[in-house]
Structure 1
Amino acid sequence: MPNPAPSAPFDVSALINDPYGTYARLREAGPVHRITGPDGRPAWLVTRYEDVRRALADPRLSLDKRNATPGNYAGFALPPALDANLLNMDPPDHTRIRRLVVKAFTPGRVDKLREPVRRVADELLDAIEAEGRTDLLASYAGPLPITVICDLLGVPQDRRPDFRAWTDALITPDPARPELMKEAIGNMMRFFTGLIASKRATPGDDLLSDLIAARDSDGDGDGDGSEGADRLSEDELSSLAFLILFAGYENTVHLIANAVLALLDHPVLMESLRANPAGLGAAVEEFMRWDGPGPLAIRRFPLENVEIGGVTVPAGETVLLSLAAANRDPHHFSEPDRLDLNRDRSGHLALGHGIHYCLGAPLARMETEIALAALLERLPGLALDVAREELAWRPSMRARGLISLPVRW
């Protein structure tokens, strides 16, 4: 018989200030915990590697919010024009839409972007190099991914600062001013509606123009006007553009900043990589495992009663899979709390697993590797410009990201 899950108080501040210690205690106490989240809603938190990995690929765990028990889940209140995206879909819709965009993120296509990404990195460093100090998050780790993903989609230069501000409002909402999130959502919807109309009238050499062409064609390639199996709805089109921009910015900015902080905390490793930048690819994988940007996978809802780690989770209830806890599980990774570039880190779950594995994983890896290579090459003596304990993390259980990263060189 499955065992009941222990109940666990959910201290969001502990997960922000000491996430890995907190997850270690939960993981030790049991594989699955019945928790009350910061929104006051119940959920089931899964903490051990094997259970998390298995659940990530379990087709019985749905991403579709319509399969949630009424009243048990409260997520972002996005309009349909932003909500019909891959993070809310199961097959066959998920398969259909992912097929349309996955070719833009293959390793071969991404490799062709290495030179343009390095050019962006150098331009950003040109602007700050002579100053000798900066908030690296604001001047480098943030602008680099937003520039790259906006270039890929064809977002005009003058709208990029707006989009970054709206994204920040969604990543870290101000509980004292809930209207700011609503304003950001409304602004995003109008932005994507206008951008799609502009690209539809004047297509460019960019991914969004390609997606619009797929939306407006008959979808089956025969030109007879019949709707093909791969055709996007208008809401799916705008939602896909939103997801690519949002995820392409949020995850990569935190990955770059967290990796830089890891190097600052391990100066011997930083000098080793400065002398041997060929090791940066392996280093990025270990940075993702050790302190990745997404502590939790996107929530799931069981289509039926599901047993996880010996605990029965009822259909329709919210399941949270802790990637952060799984990546520090000592039963899978030896000495998991140690940053070790020589370890076997194969199978880390920082970017997910199964059919919902991160679409932009090759791009995020490449951007982070180039961002670090440029920093190490051009900013000798890189060091924190504040005491380590003064660094603050975003008050979010969903994103592991710094508020600022003051450095000097």
Structure 2
Amino acid sequence: MISNLLSKIKPSPTIAMSNRAKELKNQGIYVIDFSVGEPDLPTPKHICDAVNEAMEKGMTRYTIVDGTIDLRKAICGKLLRENGLNYDISEISVGTGAKQVIFNAMMASINAGDEVIIPTPSWVSYVDIVAMFDGVPVLVPTKMEDNFCLKAADLEAKITPKTKWLMLNSPSNPTGSVYSPESLAEIADVLRKNPHVNIMTDDIYEHIIFDDLKFTNILNIAPDLSEKVMIINGVSKSYCMTGFRIGYGACKNKNLIGAMRTIQSQSTSSPNAMAQYAAQIALNSSESMVKILEMRKIMQERRDFVYAELSKIDGIKTLMGQGAFYAFSDISALIGRVTKNGVKISSGNDFCNELLAQKYVATVSGEAFGTPNHFRLSFSTDMETIKSGIEKIREFIMSLG
């Protein structure tokens, strides 16, 4: 009854851990959930008001398959105003979340055996989406001492005639790493020597960036690569609109955009009409940037606290992320130690499972992101919960024999 296709993919590990935490909560157990990958702050009022306005205006019907003209104009305006990148509405594809846009792009472009280079740690869904279409995920491990950013030499060593795409995610989920203009310039030099390689830049966390850093897309450094770049973005993270499910892609290759439109016409059709209008308002409103800056300040304060406290715990080493809302920690020094219940910690999976079982703290193991013996903590929750959760992590680690 089940397609062989399902043997190539697995359920999202982050969603699986979140579901386990919810199951415990439903049993009346208090769980500190650091597994969630969405902002905890409320959706700004002017965006919520836009949903009501859309319904009152009768915007309750199907729209153009890959986004209303007004929303695509708003996206083009945002890309020009905030990123200095010039796109036409015919070069924009709007989907039901950024994940669908990535899915559509991979389905539209990958043939069996095509290779996609994915620096790890990486977002959990890249590998499975590529594999679903008989592509070959080529994982390139990065190092904490390199800020978990892909080195140009490592990229060059992995490119073959079959390489179709390079995935770049900055700021990164799960590490919070941000690619510097200098590192992007070095990567661009490699890509110029390999014109058959396309680049997908996942910019979904672009506005959640710290320490007065300026977000840079590779096209800001190498505009000559514009025909090869697909920008992925959306309103979920920066505008606290995860449940609205609006993401978009921008690409100069209109044939690819057209192919993605065809795929979407036979799957979900148009995204939610009211959500599209709310996204349009979010992108066009100056009030949105005020809220983004407020969120950035809150998230940086949390980042600073989480990094400082995790760094005090013997046995783990944590990267100080420059963006997003995650802390990524190395637990290699804890491998081989034993819990008070006699369970040996042999992996990040063991660590996270036992942390949840014994302290009711939910995190996500590094194995989910292609990097064993690590764990990801989302600090997208209030400070009191963060303080309590980190103390429980400290207690758990100190209890290991």
Q: Taking structure 1 as the reference length, what is the TM-score of the superposition?
A: 0.26
The answer to which structure, 1 or 2, has the higher relative contact order (CA under 8 A, 6+ apart) is 1
Greater strand percent: which structure? 2
